[in-house]
Structure 1
Amino acid sequence: MYWQGTEEQWSRFVRYWQQGSEQALKRVAQPSEARLAIWPHCTMQQDSTASSGKAAQTLHVYQRCSRYALTIEAPTKTGHALLWFEPAPTQMLAALSTQFPELQTIGLLIGPNSGTTFRRWQQALPPGSPSLQPLLIRTGEQPARVFPLLLPRVSSIMLLQQPVLNDGIAAILLEQAMRRGKPVVTDNPQWLQLGAAISVSITEEIRLQETARAAQRLLRQPQSFDVDLPVHIEFNYQTLRSLATAATTSQEAMHGH
C-alpha cells in the first residue's frame, strides 16, 4: 500500500525545491524510513504526543501549520502520483507539470477555502496538462456524498489522517474507491486493516454474484438428455402419493371385475 521512493527520486525533489523555493527545505523524509516529505511555510514544531513513525509525526506537525505544502508519492496503474496540499505558491502547481511530467498529480484539498484554492490551482496549470487530476473534499460538504462524483477523475486515492476524516467516513471512502478499482494509500494502520477487510468482503460478494449469475444461465439453457444413458428421476412426496393413488384405484377396478 505504501511506496517509499528511491534515493534518486527523493534527491531529485530535494534539488528542485532547494533551487526553486524561497523557503528553506525544512524536512525531507529519508527513503528508508518515511513515505512523505513536507515543505512547510511555517515554523516546525515537534509534537511529543505524535505516534511513532516519521510519517505520523510529520502529519501532526503539518496540522499546526497555517501555510504548508505536503507532497507524497504513491504507485498508480499508469505511473506515480504526487499528492500535495494547499495553500502553496501557484508557481509550484504550474512547475509540477513541467518539472515532473511523468507524475500524475492528485490534490486533496481540505479546508474552508478549498473551493477558491481549487480554482486557483486550475488557473495556475499550463495548457495541455491532462495528467493533473484533482481530488477535492471540502469540510463544508459530506465527503461520502461528494466522493463518488470525484472518483472517475482520479487514478488513485490517498486517505490521510485528518479531523474531517473519521473512521466511519474513511470506511465509506475506502469501499467506494475499491468498488471502482482505485488503488488506495493511507497512513493510518487501522484504515489499512479496514481496507484489507473491505477488499476481502467485496471479493467474496463478487464471487457470490458470479456464482448466482452462472446458476441463472444454466437454468435458462434448454436441458437435453441422452437416451442411451440411464436417467435418474427423483420423485417428491406429491408425485409418489399420486402414483400410489393411481395404483390403488387401478387394483380396485381390476378386483371389482
Structure 2
Amino acid sequence: MLPALLLALVVAVTPSPAPPTPLPGGVDVDYQLGGAVAPAPNVGVVVRDRRAAPAPGRYNVCYVNAFQTQPDESRLWRRHRALVLRDGGRPVVDSAWGEWLLDIRTPERRQRLARIVERWIDRCARDGYDAVELDNLDSFTRSHGLIRPRHARRYARLLTARAHAAGLTVGQKNWAELDGRRIGFDFAVAEECGRYDECGAYVASYGDRVLVIEYRRRDFRRTCAAYGDRLGVVLRDRDLTPRGVRSWC
C-alpha cells in the first residue's frame, strides 16, 4: 500500500502546465527568424527561432522546423540518417532553402522523429514561449510524391498534442487548403497569402488568429487593403535579416 500511496501523493503535488494562452487576434507581428532585435512598440506578437530567447512583454511564438532539417544541423541528421527522406539513396532536398525533408511515411519513423522534435517543443515552453510554429507542414509537396498529405496530418497530430501538453498553442504554417483545427492547430502563420490569394482560407478556419508575412511590397499593400484591419500583417525581406525591411499596415 505504501508505494501506491506515495505515487498518489507525487501525482497530486506535481503541477500541470498552465492552459495554453490563445494568440491575440489582430495585433501587429514581427517575424524575426533571421536574428532577434528589440520589437517595435506597435508589435504584440514576435516569432523567433527556437534557439533565441523570447521577447519580454510580448506574445512569443517559437519557430520549430518540424518537417525539414535546418541547414546548420547536418551533424544531427547524419546521426539520424534513417529518418531523412531519400529517393534513389539520395536525400530529398527543398532546393529553395537547402533543407533535407524528413521521412514521416511510417508510424515508427513518425514516432522517432517526434521524440526529437518534442524535446525542442518542451524547450520552447521552458524558455517562456507562449506558442510554437511547426514549419514545413506542406513539405509533402516537395517530396517527389513520396510523402502523402495523410502522413503530414498524422505527424502533426503527434506534435500538436505534445505542444498542448507543454502549455503552448500551435500554429499551422502554410497549406491553406487544410483546416488545421481538425488536427489540433490553434492559429495560422501564412507566408505570402496575399500573393497567392489564400488569406481568406486561413481566416475561414481561424478568424483573426492569423499571422501574415509578405515579402513583396505590392502583395503587402493588397493584403493590408483586404485584411489589415483584422489580421497581423508584416512586410519583411525574404532573408529575414535583423535590420531588414519591416512595415505594418
Q: TM range, normalised to the smaller chain?
A: 0.3 to 0.5
Which structure's residues are more often strand, by fraction? 2
Normalised by the size of structure 1, how large is the TM-score? 0.37
Larger radius of gyration: 1
Report which structure shows greater RCO (CA 8 Å, sep ≥6).
2
